[in-house]
Chains A and B, each alone.
Chain A
């Protein structure tokens, strides 16, 4: 209980919540907080170059540590620039506390300079938001914000603080155990339903685990329980883009990622299974493909902490509301207590079938000695970094899918990608956040030359704080995924998808006090990747790749899981997309 200004309360609350770094950009309406920042050394402020970069950096920080990421921006444009990042964090359930300055309370609603309706604008893109009109509410609100951001289904929380509240004096109190008035996420699943789930699992003939980002968000315990349960049952497992790493990709029970660019075996197993055990995933449209043909013969168990994820897209037979770690622990316990034995014979047949699908080798591509294939580049990157302490971020597009397909993740929190919103420009600032949290680790942003230009300015942040991030650009001179769809759906009319007038990335690296590398021949790739790893400063790696390569396998629009296309079938793709499908890609 100490008297201090609102601005000082912000710093005190951040420190008490264990925040070591906050990403931000100053401006008129947050100057008192910046003044308070200046006079302390508990919380380090990281100056970004654009507020969107601040939010993505905080997301990278949060996802690689499991902690809450924090951001400090000013009113008006500071807040609106943060909106893309907030939406991204909401879609991918990333815990953030974003503090925005606001014009003084007596000017709110007055169209004051740099005023915007921050709580109005951010209401649909946050888990919750506050406008703090009195300094007396500030300590409670700040602590509550951390609680809401990190509990239940995590998400971004905005705290909008008018400038006069930052100046006002009040009494600060430390975070304490409290019960929110109404907000109480349910962590434990219904025991009867978990029992039923375990019974279904023991009786299944063609079972499949389908897991997602919920496992990562739930924390390392969820991932451990999952690994144990998968081992115990002997069932195959696939995961969404968001869930990669929760189960080790090196494990023989791993089928690879599923969905639009998932593996043949994962998608066929989804289609043909008789029991789908969905844990912490949400039946997103990139996963299900055609809904009326989605896994027609299966019973579906759905474990999710958010009741609104249940029966949203797909009707499930057994919904279990709860935290993945809790429910998985209960499943494990019951499985053991029951002495449950999976149907070995049926599983053998099922695995034999999966083996046949695997034999398709659906990720195969034709390599070249002349030109670098993007898949090859990722494979080499993986081989040369797998024994290191590596974190991967990505931008959005073909390179993202190739990274998901070819980079093998063995543990959670190592893979930071914009899944739900699909935000180009995510990876570079995210890698800034990851590197800051893990200063001695190798942090690589697998990027495309189009995406990376959206937030390129954050190279300056990396330079300022000596963050040796590696920007590995698969440069195919196209917005590759746009070009791929135009090739398949719009008669090869590449409307505005060519990356014209590209900067010279090597010179650009130089301009940003970084190290530039260009590689355009497969024979040079390994040496240059090693050079990238060895340089102790930020690197922009311009990897010149085949501009025409497409990302396969692929479930074309309007098709089901068992109608996916493979790389060598590329010529047939154009006929395969239905008219209605073209409309709704």
Chain B
């Protein structure tokens, strides 16, 4: 007897999982985000982060930045599947194209008094986070940076009274003079 497999393709186990940041340029029309998200859920792809906003108002073009994970074969599928959606103009793999700059913005609310409060401020200063709201017992910090920097900041805020976090998700752009 041969090794048992099936008619259905087995999950590729030998290939490693990679993380990619994709930039998807789409017509800003009703339902376009549903199409993109539906593609991911329908085909079982992962979304780690997703941001979307209209970036070219005159042409009604929106830019969707998606951070996704998968084997190289799955990642190629994701790009091709996105590319064939009718309202999708371009799909660019920012991880491959040219090492891209990736940033996130987070707003972090902490609550505390006395030393805790001072410690929160000191840490915020070290991370170059700005105070955008303050009461006698709380701060809201605004921090911008790569996702891992934001992660470490949030971790540090835990013991000094972290209440709530709101994050934008990743936006990205290529380095150098060329546009996409």
Contacts and interface: CB of A to CB of B under 8 A. Distances in A.
A310 to B, nearest CB: 7
A292 B10 contact: yes
Nearest to A308: B80
A306 B42 contact: no
Contacts of A292: 5, 10
Interface string A567-585: 0000000000011110111
A120 interface: yes
Contact of A584 (B8, B42, B81, B86): B8
Contacts of A291: 5, 9-10
Contacts of B77: 308, 311-312
B31 interface: yes
Nearest to B73: A311
Contacts of B8: 285, 584
Interface string B78-95: 001101101111000000
A135 interface: no
A119 interface: yes
Interface in A117-137: 119-120, 123-124, 127-128, 131
Interface string B8-33: 11100000000000000011001100
B84 A306 contact: yes
Given A124-B38, A181-B27, A584 B7 contact: yes
B35 A123 contact: yes
Interface in A174-231: 180-183
B126 interface: no
A412 interface: no
A324 to B, nearest CB: 17
A270 interface: no
Given A123-B35, A124-B42, A308-B80, A148 B6 contact: no
B84 A578 contact: no
B73 to A, nearest CB: 6
Interface in A528-585: 555, 557-560, 563, 578-581, 583-585
A123 B7 CA distance: 28
A123 B2 contact: no
Given A123-B31, A182-B27, A581 B6 contact: yes
A360 interface: no
Nearest to A157: B86
B38 A123 contact: yes
Nearest to B81: A308
Contacts of B6: 290, 557-558, 580-581, 583-585
Given A312-B77, A315-B73, A307 B7 contact: no
Contacts of A313: 9
Given A290-B6, A308-B84, A559-B2, A182 B31 contact: no
B38 A285 contact: no
Given A148-B86, A182-B27, A584-B7, A563 B2 contact: yes
B76 interface: yes
Interface residues of B, number: 28
A230 B10 CA distance: 34
Given A124-B38, A292-B10, A308-B81, A182 B86 contact: yes
A580 B34 contact: no
Contacts of A128: 86
Nearest to A321: B80
Given A285-B7, A558-B6, A127 B86 contact: yes
B1 interface: yes
A514 interface: no
A232 B38 CA distance: 46
A120 B1 CA distance: 47
Nearest to B39: A124
B4 interface: yes
B7 A260 contact: yes
A581 B4 contact: yes
B77 to A, nearest CB: 6
A126 to B, nearest CB: 10
A363 B90 CA distance: 48
A513 interface: no
Contacts of A183: 86-87
A299 interface: no
A296 to B, nearest CB: 13
A374 B80 CA distance: 43
Contacts of A180: 86
A286 interface: yes
Contact of B7 (A131, A290, A306): A290
Nearest to A283: B9
A289 interface: yes
Interface in A266-314: 285-286, 288-293, 306-308, 310-313
Contact of B1 (A289, A293, A311, A578): A578
A516 B35 CA distance: 48
Contact of B4 (A119, A260, A580): A580
A288 B7 CA distance: 7
Interface in B85-123: 86-89
Contacts of B76: 311
B2 A307 contact: no
Contacts of A120: 34
A421 to B, nearest CB: 15
A307 B9 contact: no
A559 B88 CA distance: 39
Contacts of A557: 6-7
A311 B73 CA distance: 7
Interface in B48-76: 73, 76
Contacts of A312: 77
A585 B7 contact: yes
A417 B10 CA distance: 28
B80 A182 contact: no
Most chain-A Cβ atoms within 10 A of its Cβ — which of B38, B83, B86? B86
A214 to B, nearest CB: 15
Contacts of B86: 127-128, 148, 180, 182-183
A557 B5 CA distance: 8
A478 B151 CA distance: 61
Nearest to A580: B4
Contacts of B80: 307-308, 310
Interface of B: 1-2, 4-10, 26-27, 30-31, 34-35, 38, 42, 73, 76-77, 80-81, 83-84, 86-89
Closest 10 CB pairs of A and B: A578-B4, A580-B4, A308-B80, A584-B6, A182-B89, A128-B86, A307-B80, A183-B86, A285-B7, A308-B81
14 contacts: A131-B30, A153-B84, A183-B87, A260-B7, A285-B7, A285-B9, A293-B2, A308-B80, A308-B83, A310-B80, A557-B6, A563-B2, A579-B4, A581-B5
Given A308-B80, A308-B81, 5 more contacts: A288-B9, A291-B10, A313-B9, A578-B4, A581-B5
